[in-house]
Every structure is written in C-alpha cells, then in structure tokens.
Structure 1
Amino acid sequence: MLERLNQAMEHIERHLDQTIDVAELARIAVTSEYHFRRLFSALAGMPLSEYLRRRRLTVAAADVMAGERSLLDVAVRYGYTSTEAFTRAFRAVHGVGPGEARRTGATLRAQPRMSFRLIIEGSSSMRYRLVEKDAFTVAGRKARVPMVHEGVNPAIAAFIRSIDPETVRRIEELSDQEPHGLVSVTDDIDPSRAQGTELDYYQAAVTSAAVPEDMQSLSVPAGTWAVFESVGEFPKTLQYMWRDVYTQWFPSNPYQSRPGPEILRTELSADGTTAEAEIWIPVERIPG
C-alpha cells in the first residue's frame, strides 16, 4: 500500500503544472478516491487539496524568483486565471506577494515533497474487530459544524452543551444495538477535508426504533464496519487511536474506508481522566 501511495506522490510531482485528477491518484494507489483522500489526510496531517496548493506554490515560487517569466505566465502555468488570484494564493502561503518577493528577494516558505513509510514500533497491538451490520438509523440531535483539525472543536462543544439532560436521556433510550448508548457521529464531510469546511455532527443513538418528530435522523445502509477499541488517558489515547488506524492499520490490511458516517462511543471515568472508546469506521475489502 505505501509503495503505491508513493507512486501516486511521484505522479503529483510530475504534474504540478497541470490539472491533477484525484481519481487517477487513487487508481495508481489501487484504492478508491474516497479512501485515498482519507488516508492521505491522516498520513500527511493535512488535506490533499492543501498539500497540492502548497506544493504548487512552492514550485511556482522558484519560477517567480528566477524572473524568466512574467507573473501572469507563472500564474497561468500553475492553474490560476489571473495575477490577482495567484497573488492571493501566493501571499497566503509565503506571507508576501509574488511581485514583492521578486523585487526584494524575500524569504519564502517551502512545502517539501512528501513520501510515506511505515514505522513498526512493535510496542503494542491494536485491538479491532470486523462487524457486519444490517441497515440502521442514527437518531438524535444534529448540527452543521466547521472542520477543525487540531484541538477542541468549539462549535461541537457548544452544540453538546446546548442539549438539555432530558433530551440526552430520550436519545439514550432509543439505543437498541451496537454501538450502544450515546454516540458521536460525523457525516457528509467535504471531500477536501479542508480546515473550515463543514460536516454534519450528531449526538445520537444507533437504533431500529421509530424516530421522534423533534429529532433528526440518518439512514445508514448495511455493510462492514471496522471497530477499534482503546482504553487509557483521555483524550490522548483516543487521539492516538485515530492516528494509528490510518497510519498503521489501513496500510497493513486489505481494507479501505468507504463512504458513510464515522461513529465514536466513549465512556469516561468518574474523574474524566481516562476513557474506554470505540471507533466505528465503514470499510470494504480491497478488490483483488
């Protein structure tokens, strides 16, 4: 898997001055476009779209500083329709406009090209199971919130605080199958996974029961789920598990993520310092 990912990265480097088709990158990596985006984001620590933007503007900066092409020519070469659009993007990455950079020889920021390798630490095993589930419903309260890559998501935190205890009790009573109890569900995530893009967030239960009129619901089709378990310091252990699923488990197993919601069940200790957690991720076996 990692060898194929690195072949896709090489394809990116050869086509930075052209339109890069994510479907073609996924084909090179022998996986789905959906899974390629998810895996790249986990491994690289940024969305694919952000990496492409940074790499293009890193390479474009070399053309700007060489002074052999006009700024418009450089802009068009790297996919920008005007010098104004190019200048805005250039400034966002480098902190200075291309014209000023060319005139003054300003210090610029580079996005190094990436390659991936798997580090086998061998210090712990990952607990997981595969579950075949019939179609079910997620029922509870929903909010549309922005994507936040690091730290607490304030929109989610505020949304959770806004749900009164009686509603929480009613949601929990709907739970009649795994994962049991009150769960956090994320769905309808922008394919770019860029900071600030929006997603649906549910405080909900997994159920086959009728959904009350004052609650929102999400119908989830039947399929295979990979369930990862962790016990330890909260939230550190849980955050490490998210990382390890994409950086270790997926590259080492013949599965890929498939479209669908991600579900998190967490049971905090009385003092809130430790937690037992399960992450449910929809998966499918890689063909072949």
Structure 2
Amino acid sequence: MGWIEGIQNAIEYIEENLTEELNIQEIAEKACVSAFHFQRIFTVLCGFTVGEYIRNRRLSIAAEELSKADARVIDVAMKYGYDSPDSFTRAFTKFHGISPSAAKLKGANLKSFAPLKIKLTLEGGTMLEYKIVEKQQFTVMGKVRSFNTDTSYDEIPKFWQEHMQSGENNIVCGMYGICIDSDGKNFDYMIADNYLPWNEIPEGYVTRVIPAGTWAVFPCRGPLPKSLQDVNTRIWSEWLPNCKEYKLAGNYNVEMYTPPTENPEDYYCEIWIPVEKV
C-alpha cells in the first residue's frame, strides 16, 4: 500500500468513527505507520494537526445536525465527545462564530469543514537532494523536554531560545535536535551534543542512545528556520510518496546543526530520517 493510500485510509477511518473515541495509535495503523510519524507527516501535508482535523469535522457535522433536526444541544455535545454543554458551546462558538442555540435558528450562518481527500500533485520538477547512509550506534547528552504534537511547532523554537539565552549552550552547544516518541501523542525533544563518556553528566541533563541503522539524510542550505522547514515539507510531500525502496523505521528523527556562519545564506544543516528496505 502506498503512502498516499495509507493516509486516505486513516482519514476514512476517522470519518467513520467521528462519534466514537478516536485513538491516534489506531488511526496511524490504518496508514501502516507509527503514530509518531503519522502525526508529523499529517501536519506537514494538511497544514493542521490530526486533533484539529477531528475537532473541526465534529463541529461542522454538529452544526448540520442542530440546523436540520430538533436536536438538543446537550445531546449533540455528548455525541461528539464534549463532557459538558459549556465546553461544547465554547468550542462551537469559536469555530462557527455563533452559539449552538443560534445555529438552530433558520438562516443561521455556519461554517463547513469538508472531509479531506489526499491527492499527489506534481509541482516544480526540482530535485530533492538526499543520500542513504549506515550509521553506527551513538550516544548523545542534552536537555530534554516533552512536547505535544499539536503545539510543538510553536513551542520547540521557544525551547531553543531559552536554552541559548540561559548560557547553557556552553554546556551543550546544540549539535542535534532529536525527536523521540513518547506515547504517540507526545514526544521528547532533545537539544544535544555527542556524549563524551569521560565527562560527568551535569545536573538536569540526560543521555540517550541512538541505535545503529539506515538513515535517509537530507541537506538543508540557507537561513534557519526556513531552509529546514522547506526541506522537511518536501520530505513528506515529495520524497516519501515517491520512494519505492525504503519505508520509515524507528520512532525518532534527528536534526544535525553546524556552527553558525557569517552569511546565513551559507548555513548548512541536515535532517536524518530512519528508514529500512521495503
């Protein structure tokens, strides 16, 4: 099964179970990929998180039910996973701009959020540079913080800024940014350097072992964060759907950074994605 087909299977599963409790692990299984990779790729391809998609679809359908049937707000709220009418009203009003009660009135203006249909389109025609390399196991030391997939794009840059401004970059300069799956929904992000075993581990720092394996390595050239984000998007939207020899492996990935350059246009870094032969 291809990657695009897998994502579409996952979306169809969500659509069939919008009134049920949805588990990210079960959703990702429909795409034949881990929850860790599924959430990251879904966000890149679709522009919003899995959680946002589910919430928007539920609120869209809930509005249809309120406008077309003699349904009670409390019943619709419970049907679509809200613990109370108040929490449903807040979410509904934020999404539609009117309250659930107002949505029941004839002629009410409501917003519609249609189901996704994933299609592969051809754009640009430019080559994405990469290489497949074998790497030995290595150990890193650094500072770890847990992040939620829904908010990580905004929060991780703040983590880096805090680390650099605190002066702790004298302990760990930040050769790596490493994402390590925690429970499918949350993951650990580590600002790290190579671990030197003859040095003591400072308080508040930890070590992690990155296992030996095969990696797809993608160069990123130019100012951060744009160069990194552009390549990351192209990995999931162009390279992965067209790659026939490799599939995603381990629930982690690595950003490798080099020292700053005088001219940001000359900056170089890499994204490492663990893969295995199909």
Rate the CA distance shift 1:96–1:283 in 2: closer, same or farther, 3 A.
farther
| 1:158 matched to 2:162 | yes
Q: What's the counterpart of residue 177 of structure 1?
A: none
- RMSD, matched Cα: 3.0
Rate the CA distance shift 1:108–1:30 in 2: closer, same or farther, 3 A.
same
**Structure 1 gap ranges (5+):** 172-180
Aligned-residue identity in percent: 31
Alpha-carbon distance, 1:241 to partner: 0.2
Q: What's the counterpart of residue 171 of structure 2?
A: 167
Whether the aligned pair in 1 keeps the contact of 2:43 and 2:50 (CA below 8 Å) is: yes
Give the 5 Å matches for 1:127-276.
127-143=129-145, 147-149=151-153, 153-164=157-168, 166-168=170-172, 182-188=175-181, 191-192=184-185, 199-202=188-191, 204-207=192-195, 209-214=197-202, 215-253=205-243, 254-276=246-268
**Structure 2 gap ranges (5+):** none
How does the TM-score come out when normalised to structure 2?
A: 0.81
Distance in 2, Cα, partners of 1:187 & 1:58: 34
2:218 partner amino acid:
F
Alpha-carbon distance, 1:99 to partner: 1.8
How does the TM-score come out when normalised to structure 1?
A: 0.79
Whether the aligned pair in 2 keeps the contact of 1:61 and 1:98 (CA below 8 Å) is: yes
Alpha-carbon distance, 1:88 to partner: 2.9
Equivalences, count: 270
Rate the CA distance shift 1:21–1:155 in 2: closer, same or farther, 3 A.
closer
Whether the aligned pair in 2 keeps the contact of 1:19 and 1:79 (CA below 8 Å) is: yes
Q: What's the counterpart of residue 82 of structure 2?
A: 80
Distance in 2, Cα, partners of 1:59 & 1:85: 17
Distance in 2, Cα, partners of 1:148 & 1:125: 29
Rate the CA distance shift 1:164–1:37 in 2: closer, same or farther, 3 A.
closer
Give the 5 Å matches for 1:4-153.
4-103=6-105, 106-121=108-123, 123-143=125-145, 147-149=151-153, 153=157
Whether the aligned pair in 1 keeps the contact of 2:178 and 2:253 (CA below 8 Å) is: yes
Distance in 1, Cα, partners of 2:122 & 2:142: 40
Whether the aligned pair in 2 keeps the contact of 1:129 and 1:227 (CA below 8 Å) is: yes
Rate the CA distance shift 1:263–1:209 in 2: closer, same or farther, 3 A.
farther
Distance in 2, Cα, partners of 1:83 & 1:158: 39
